[in-house]
A and B are shown apart, each in its own frame.
Chain A
């Protein structure tokens, strides 16, 4: 017994879906619109929706007061670099857990996941002093390493669930064919798991791109990604909504475009391999 799909029900569902979609998207839309307003229009009560004086001067101002290209470069290098290195670590790790499990593999996986339940602020002081001692504050290596570590549990979990779907026979066939462990992972496992690896990478890049707590606290300028650019416009002297919105728009634009073009992979990634 399924729900009967009548025309009115279909229209109702469509309207509801669009309403929910708009509700979720509204903050991004409002940020985008505000980025093109003057500061006065941004404050205006009642708020101006589409009929205001459109201007691009906020973007110029943002670039003049900061260095968009430097921070964008940092964001790209950090989120992609950290996660590529992360993959190089997590693919073998997930291989071991999926294809050579021991009695404790499940416990290990649960423990890794549990580290994600701890708020970052809980270990902030420890990490901060480690960074201080090893001169890693405001260094790309330092923050990159941290971003990689923060994502590792999720990346390994996702890869693990993808790898579990691959028939072990095929890996055994590779072993019989004389493939070493490295060759088995490079030539057989990885090509078969490409869709899973791609969606994992995509999700972890987005998570790293948007990561604000650590990037704001452990970088000051040179290694700071775009999150820093946004935060600059929310200062103790007052918040400049239009400029803040312009900075936000600039910061999220690349990842938004990336996400738009890879929706399908992303949805698969987010469902954690539950849907085969």
Chain B
């Protein structure tokens, strides 16, 4: 079991308010991702759940029990740090076994659990090495191994992949996904990378300056962002935001259209624009256009598109895919 509830959680560092009243309900077995730009408080929120920071006010409940005043060692959670935070003086075996030793488990049990975890994570051949003799990906696996042997109520990940190169990041993302599928344990994952959030989460929590901007499944956030902040943050390339006449015509102060929801034509359409640059990725093409009063827009076209800088193109938004926002940046339907 691992249901985690936050009720009106606040955290100040001196006069600076980092977390302004966050309430959340993370169900047992969920993969929740906290995402937001740097400085939005996502890591602090995770550390508050871990117990590494003290709450200024509010409550944190694990399986219905208030743990607000309980130390990190007693919360039954495991954490994977961005820096891996392996014990440099211990072997891989020692690192993975440490939590079990602290829990005073019998040696045979420790050995069996360490072996099993090592086998799951392809670390069996490295058990007697020291962390400094391992590659970045292997270190990250050790950090995960250290977390899984404890059979925690929930796993907390603090930007665990940001020190890895792009290819390894994709691979580890899959591995963590597999792990969640196999263990079915609650996971809370912090990242600033919305792609990681979209691909891994069952529930995304978008944070903006210490408050929850929106909570929902990846596709809910993609299809129905509740405001400009989430609209801009989720999706790659970023959603096009247009103000002025096209927006007022649709009864809004600003409208948002994702690059993949713009029809492009060389002969006719709603907005006349000029091509600035086209990025040909093979699978799709990103076309950056200049639309005078519309500003800079991005269009995504499947496959290849024969456009070059300076070409005049017409864009038409797909009406059912237009997001409308009022003057406060909130969604209107």
What is A's interface to B at a CB cutoff of 8 Å? 167, 169-170, 172-180, 183, 187-188, 191-192
Given contacts A167-B85, A192-B88, contact A176 B98 (CB under 8 A): no
Q: B83 contacts which chain A residues (CB < 8 A)?
A: 167, 169
Are A170 and B87 in contact (CB-based, < 8 A)? Answer: yes
Instruction: Give CA–CA (A174, B98) in the complex, Å.
Output: 8
Contact of B87 among A174, A178, A180 (CB under 8 A): A174
Verify if B228 is at the interface (C-beta below 8 Å from A).
no
Are B85 and A175 in contact (CB-based, < 8 A)? Answer: no
Instruction: Give CA–CA (A167, B86) in the complex, Å.
Output: 10
Q: Please classify how large the interface on chain B is, using the bins under 10, 10 to 19, 20 to 34, 35 or more.
A: 20 to 34
Q: B146 contacts which chain A residues (CB < 8 A)?
A: 173, 177
Write the nearest CB–CB distance from A79 to chain B, whole angstroms.
Answer: 28
Verify if B78 is at the interface (C-beta below 8 Å from A).
yes
Are B81 and A178 in contact (CB-based, < 8 A)? Answer: no
Instruction: Give CA–CA (A213, B74) in the complex, Å.
Output: 50
Are B77 and A178 in contact (CB-based, < 8 A)? Answer: no
Q: B78 contacts which chain A residues (CB < 8 A)?
A: 176-177
Q: B89 contacts which chain A residues (CB < 8 A)?
A: 191-192
Verify if B291 is at the interface (C-beta below 8 Å from A).
no
| B:63-100 near A, CB below 8 Å | 71-74, 77-79, 81-83, 85-89, 98-99
Instruction: Give CA–CA (A178, B81) in the complex, Å.
Output: 15
| B:122-161 near A, CB below 8 Å | 146, 150
Q: A192 contacts which chain B residues (CB < 8 A)?
A: 87-89
Are A175 and B81 in contact (CB-based, < 8 A)? Answer: no
Are B52 and A178 in contact (CB-based, < 8 A)? Answer: no
Given contacts A177-B146, A178-B99, contact A169 B81 (CB under 8 A): yes
30 CB < 8 A contacts A-B: A169-B82, A169-B85, A170-B86, A170-B87, A170-B88, A172-B72, A172-B85, A173-B79, A173-B81, A174-B98, A175-B52, A175-B71, A175-B72, A175-B73, A176-B50, A176-B72, A176-B73, A176-B78, A177-B78, A177-B102, A178-B74, A178-B99, A179-B98, A179-B102, A180-B73, A180-B102, A183-B102, A187-B98, A188-B87, A191-B89
Write the nearest CB–CB distance from B249 to chain A, whole angstroms.
Answer: 53
Are A178 and B85 in contact (CB-based, < 8 A)? Answer: no
Q: B77 contacts which chain A residues (CB < 8 A)?
A: 176
Closest 6 CB pairs of A and B: A177-B99, A169-B85, A173-B85, A178-B102, A191-B89, A176-B79
Q: B74 contacts which chain A residues (CB < 8 A)?
A: 178
Write the nearest CB–CB distance from A17 to chain B, whole angstroms.
Answer: 35
Instruction: Give CA–CA (A192, B94) in the complex, Å.
Output: 14
Verify if B15 is at the interface (C-beta below 8 Å from A).
no
Instruction: Give CA–CA (A192, B131) in the complex, Å.
Output: 13
Q: A179 contacts which chain B residues (CB < 8 A)?
A: 73, 98, 102
Verify if B166 is at the interface (C-beta below 8 Å from A).
no
Write the nearest CB–CB distance from B296 to chain A, whole angstroms.
Answer: 41
Q: B103 contacts which chain A residues (CB < 8 A)?
A: 178
Q: B88 contacts which chain A residues (CB < 8 A)?
A: 170, 192
